[in-house]
Structure 1
Amino acid sequence: MNITIVGPGAIGSLWAIKLLKAGHNVSLWSRSSETATDLSLDEQTSLSFSNNNIEKLSASDLVIVTVKAWQVKEATTPLLQYLDPDTILMFMHNGMGAVDEIATQIDAHPVVLATTTQAAFKPDRNSASHTGLGQTQLGAFNLQGQQCTFLVDVLEHALPTVNWNPEIKTALWTKLAINCAINPLTGLEQVKNGDLSEPRFSKTLAAIIEELTHVMQAEGISCSFDELETNVNKVIQATAKNNSSMKQDMFYQRKTEIDFITGHLIKTALKHQIEVPTNQKLFAMVKERENSWNHQD
């Protein structure tokens, strides 16, 4: 397939390299003005990718958007004029709500949502490390997206394990719940994920999960407090040594994805008239910290 990766950060670079090695024609689209980019994975030989090539973008069968949630709109909309209506758009990012913002503009395309627990890190512009094996779930965002189950084979061949999830909304909410529990706390406290298992965080985590359970149930997602808590604790243990993306963003004083993580939860809670004071407080604290920095990049 002809594939364009929009936003070759850590996850985007990982998929670009894996898909190229699996035999696909892969090009990149990024904020860089360079026409070619070399990427290496886990210190192996560098591979060369064309960057910001309109011809290759127009010829794409699949465009995978791997930018931050708050960049989805500005990264995607300028590209639509070059794409055939048959081009599949796949969005792979943390949080929820970003694709809804551009739903009417992309509705001519088959649209697929993806969530992955593959972990990657980019120590510098031209190299990436695959820091943790995980699984990737795909699901349809719109009617045309339902025809795209074959993408499981395409992605599975490049970087297993990949599954099609007809209930992708449940998978996204489960990931969102984990992000709501881990990201704001690790960002505000500047601690690693594993530190959240300390007793000083248990009360706050329980309150976050309690609020999430009510909102998810109101959204028609079958879940219980115990299930969610077990899930969150599992991820805290499994990623104990990791720095969350929000921790890193806040350390470097970069804009965070809080609007599309805890912000999405708060918006949904409001719709159902459910009180979420703990999440609201954490959201306000992260926003306050963001606003205190002089720059927003």
Structure 2
Amino acid sequence: MEWTILGAGALGCVMTGLLRQRGESVALMLSERHRGHFHPSLELITLTGAHQLIQSRPRFPEHARTVECLLVFTKAYQVVDALKELRHLPASTPIILLHNGLGVAEKVQALFPNNPLLAGVSSHGAIKERDWLVRHTGKGETWLGPLNDAAKTWSHLVKPLEKALGHAEWSDDIALHQRRKLAINAVINPLTACNNITNGQLLEPRFADVLEQLSEEVYQVMSRLDGDKAETQDAFRRRLQQVIELTSSNHSSMHQDLAHGRPTENEYISGYILANAGNQPVPVCSQLYQEIERKSGTAKPAQRMQH
């Protein structure tokens, strides 16, 4: 089977490299700006610092009918528009969403009601140093699971992913993994983006109070959504501390997007917390949401958040 990767950003390119290293067939679905240009080899800097040239097949939207398995690594706000281009995608082709944040899957399901729809959650680290040069900065866990009934028979995709990534597991409750990743992102991303710092700097004493309050807000909202599967507050704090320490020298994706003048996934991370807060007060989360919107030049009225 050939894997087709939509979204040639840092993680999408690193995943391309890791799959190719294990002999998997991989195609990159490219955007219009690459049409007519020579498709260069992808250069992957491995965890050991070695440089490897990675070959993949270039694909464009008109090739959608040949796609056997689609891995979507675009930003959350790009997913729907990117998939609209693939209107000839066979109804039997699984679509695997691997973006940050939540709130997109429902729109994809409406676009492709018959396709197996899956979600992936990965904690691999990746940095795009320049076009077609990416660095793998850290190994992590990868979880895959179904978002609709048609996807429940696709657990066999885990085996080749496990060989390529070092860890991959199937979860029938992938939404739980998505929410737990979002809870971490909803603390780290806006704080590092607004303060222009690395993840590790969040552990400095000056951020202790705001880190504590934001963690409390996020935990209260997400634990209510998790119901009887909610982790304890202490477990959440330990997990948050561990992620900050493991990624201490990294800049969060939201920090990078803001620093480079790109749109952010604010609406799908902090915006998701605000939309699901109900009567729970979330003043810090709300303030950070508005600040990110202001910094990115997309400020919205306050009521926009409660969708």
TM-score by length of 2: 0.89
1:223 matched to which residue of 2? Answer: 231
2:245 corresponds to = 237
2:166 to 155, 160, 163: 160
Report the equivalent of 1:140. Answer: 146
Is contact 1:21-1:158 (8 Å) kept? yes
Q: Give the aligned partner of residue 35 of structure 2.
A: 34
- Alpha-carbon distance in 1 for matches of 2:140, 2:113: 30
Moved more, 199-208 or 107-116: 199-208
The reply on whether 1:266 has 2:269 as its aligned counterpart is no
* Contact 1:3–1:63 (Cα < 8 Å) also in 2: yes
Q: Distance in 2 between matches of 1:141 and 1:163?
A: 15
Question: Contact conserved, 1:72 with 1:99, CA < 8 A, in 2?
Answer: no
Deviations 1:223-258 (A, max 9, x none): 222121111111111111111111111111211111
The Cα of 1:187 is off from its aligned counterpart by 0.5
Instruction: In structure 2, give the amino acid aligned to 1:39.
Output: L
- Residue 126 of structure 2: which of 117, 120, 132 is its match? 120
Instruction: Give the counterpart letter for 1:126 in structure 2.
Output: W
Greater mean alpha carbon deviation, residues 152-161 or residues 99-108: 99-108
Amino acid at match of 2:276: T
- Number of the residue aligned with 2:57: 50
Cα RMSD for the two superposed structures: 1.7
Quick one: distance in 2 between partners of 1:256 and 1:154?
32
1:59 and 2:62 matched: no
- Identify which range, 229-238 or 219-228, moves more after superposition: 219-228
Residue-by-residue CA offset, 1:183-239 (whole Å, 9 max, x unaligned): 111101111100000111111111112112221232124122212111111111111
**1-structure distance, mates of 2:18, 2:162:** 10
Q: For residues 1-297 of structure 1, what are the structure 2 equivalents within 5 Å?
A: 1-31=1-31, 32-34=33-35, 36-42=39-45, 44-54=51-61, 56-79=63-86, 81-219=87-225, 220=227, 221-269=229-277, 272-291=278-297
Q: Distance in 2 between matches of 1:148 and 1:250?
A: 36
SS in 2 for 1:63: strand
* CA deviations over 1:111-142 (Å, ceiling 9, x no partner): 11001111111111122111111110111111
Q: In structure 2, what is the Cα distance between the partners aligned to 1:26 and 1:55?
A: 17
Question: SS at the partner of 2:115?
Answer: coil
**How far apart, CA to CA, are the structure 1 residues paired with 2:248 and 2:183?**
17
Judged with a 3 Å threshold, the aligned counterparts in structure 2 of structure 1 residues 151 and 289 are, in CA distance, closer, same or farther, namely same
**Residues 187, 218 of structure 2: 8 Å contact kept:** no
Structure 1 match to 2:305:
none
CA–CA separation in structure 1 for the residues paired with 2:267 and 2:34:
29
Give the letter aligned to residue 174 of structure 1. R
Count of aligned positions: 290
Q: Where do 5+ consecutive residues of structure 2 fail to align?
A: 300-307
Amino acid at match of 1:125: D
Shift of 1:67: 0.5
**Structure 1 gap segments, 5+ residues each:** none
8 Å Cα contact 1:120-1:128 kept in structure 2: yes
Measure, in 1, the Cα distance between the counterparts of 2:298 and 2:218: 28
Q: Secondary structure at the match of 1:4?
A: strand
Letter in 2 for 1:250: L
